[in-house]
Amino acid sequence: MKLLIRLVLLLSSGLIFLALAVVIQNVDPHQEIPTTETYTFADTLAYDQYDLDSLIAMIGDNKGLPPGFEVAAAIAYTAYPQLKDVNIDMVFTQGGAPMMASLDIWSLFGSRNGRRYKILLNDSKDTYFDPILLRNLPFDAQVGILAHELGHVAYYHQLNLLEFGKWGFSYLQSDEYHAAHERSTDLMPVYHGLGSQIYQYAYYVRHDPKGGELYKGAKEFIDKYYMTDKELWNVIKSE
């Protein structure tokens, strides 16, 4: 019995220590401006021809491409040369947020090279999110929003286990932190040469007759957590 009590005490003090270690981390919700060289892409990508094999050769064979959207995804990956050696998959789901960057939590315990990230793409039918799901976006907007999601991956990849814990806690617990992180992640495509594409996404979501359907009822939420087309335009213009 005594041994059991000791074991419980040891485990709970270990957990308290871990929780404290997470709490004392200082994790800025803002994205960093990349210091490495980035590409510049054309303002409109939709009408060009792309050779998927050449794109895959650029991004590495550790990247998953969602069926039917291979080219848009591969272009978004090429914008992040710093993720060339990182394992990232893009998979369809039948629920959840329209898109979400996640990681295999267990891979956080191993070396950074072994981390596995996944971008979840809601592809369910008859959902409230229908107007803004990947399948309904114009090509350039697809590239733009996938580049936003890869911006999350670039951010996660810089965090260690404790920092990731603090980030997750802050993101869920504070609206301001959540908004600062998402709005800053909207700038990642801009930093990586795909400013026109994230602008086209933001414009589509707000002003397209079909895409804007959801926005009508969710304007306050969307404009709080994501940059508007006008805000993005001002940033792109001042670059």
CB atoms within 10 A of CB 184: 17
Minimum CB–partner distance for residue 145 and Zn ion (Å): 9
Provide, rounded to whole angstroms, the least separation between the CB of residue 92 and Zn ion: 18
Distance CA 229, CA 226 (A): 9
Q: Which residues contact 197 (CB under 8 A, 6 or more apart)?
A: 41, 45, 140, 141, 143, 144, 147, 189
**Among the listed residues 120, 122, 151, the one whose alpha carbon sits nearest the alpha carbon of residue 136:** 122
Instruction: Give min distance, CB of 186 to Zn ion, in A.
Output: 8
- HSE on the CB side for 92, CA within 13 Å? 12
Q: Which is nearer to Zn ion, 140 or 186 (CB)?
A: 186
Other residues' Cβ atoms within 10 Å of the Cβ of residue 235: 16
Which is closer to Zn ion, CB of 166 or CB of 183?
A: 183
Q: Are 238 and 189 spatial neighbours (Cβ–Cβ below 8 Å)?
A: no
Least Å distance between CB 152 and Zn ion?
6
Residues within the interface to Zn ion (CB under 5 A)? 182, 185
Closest separation in Å from C-beta 194 to Zn ion: 15
In this complex, which beta carbon is closest to Zn ion, that of residue 55 or of residue 133? 133
Query: In the complex with Zn ion, which residue's Cβ is closer, 55 or 227?
Result: 227
Report yes or no: 191 and 33 within 8 Å, Cβ to Cβ: yes
214 phi/psi in degrees, rounded to 5: -70, -35
Closest separation in Å from C-beta 174 to Zn ion: 16
What H or E segment, with its residue span, contains residue 122? strand 116-122
Cβ proximity to Zn ion, 55 vs 146, nearer residue: 146
Of residues 55 and 205, the one with the C-beta less far from Zn ion: 205
